[in-house]
Structure 1
C-alpha cells in the first residue's frame, strides 16, 4: 500500500490528541493560542506546533483578530467539514471536505466591525 505524504501527515495528526482537541475546539468559534492552551490542557509550544501542522494540511486556518487600540493577535478556526477514509483496490484513500473559505468582502466587514 502506498500513500502520499499528505495522507500520512493527516493520519498522524488525527492520531494526536492535541490536534484532535484543537480541531474540535475551533469547530464553531475561532480561538487564540492561549484559549486553545487552556481548553486543550496543553502548553503554548504544543499548541503552536499542532496549529502549524494543521494549517499545513489545510485543516485549520489562521485569522487576525483586531482589538482596541490597534492591537491584534492570531486566532484559529477549523477548515475541516468532513473527512472520509475509503478502502478501495487495496488502498486507503482519504477525502477532505473543507468549509467554504470566507469571502474577502465578509472578512473585511468583520475586521472593520472589530475596529
Structure 2
C-alpha cells in the first residue's frame, strides 16, 4: 500500500525522523516487533530517549504500535517498522512530496489474490 504525504507538517515529521541517528538505529533494529525496553537495550539508548524517538517515528507513520495482552491481564506495547520504502520526489507542481510504501495487510493480500483468481478464471 502506498500512502502519499503531501501535507508539509507530515513530510517534515518524516524527514526529521529519518535525519535523526537514534531514529535510524531504531528503524534498523526493528526487523521484528520489540518493546521499548528491548530497543533501549539493543540500541544502547536511555529508555526515556527511546520513548521520545518512538513517538517521533510514530508521528511520522514509520513505526506502528501493537498491544500484546498477557495471560496475567497486563499488556505490553511492541513497536514494529511500518514501511518498506520512503520516496521523496519533486511533484509536477514542483513541490516536494513524500510517499511511504507500506507492507500489505492480510486483507489487502487476500483482495489481491482474489483479483488474480477472477482474472485467470475469465
Task: Please tell me the TM-score bracket, short chain as reference.
Answer: 0.7 to 0.9
1:99 to 90, 96, 103: 103
Name 1:84's counterpart in structure 2: 87
Distance of 2:61 and 2:91 partners within structure 1 = 24
Name 2:114's counterpart in structure 1: none
1:16 to 20, 31, 37: 20
CA gap 1:100/1:29 in 2 versus in 1, 3 angstroms: same
Q: Secondary structure at 2:56's aligned position in 1?
A: helix
TM-score for the superposition, normalised by structure 2: 0.71
In structure 2, runs of 5+ residues without a counterpart are 1-6, 108-122
Give 1:53 shift: 1.7
Q: How many residues of Structure 1 are paired with residues of Structure 2 in the alignment?
A: 100
CA gap 1:44/1:56 in 2 versus in 1, 3 angstroms: same
CA gap 1:63/1:102 in 2 versus in 1, 3 angstroms: farther
Higher relative contact order (CA 8 A, sep 6+): 2
Give 1:67 shift: 3.3
Name 1:69's counterpart in structure 2: 72
Distance of 1:87 and 1:31 partners within structure 2 = 35
The higher radius of gyration belongs to: 2
Question: CA RMSD for the aligned pairs?
Answer: 1.9
Name 2:54's counterpart in structure 1: 51
Are 2:14 and 2:61, in contact at CA under 8 Å, matched by a contact in 1? Answer: no
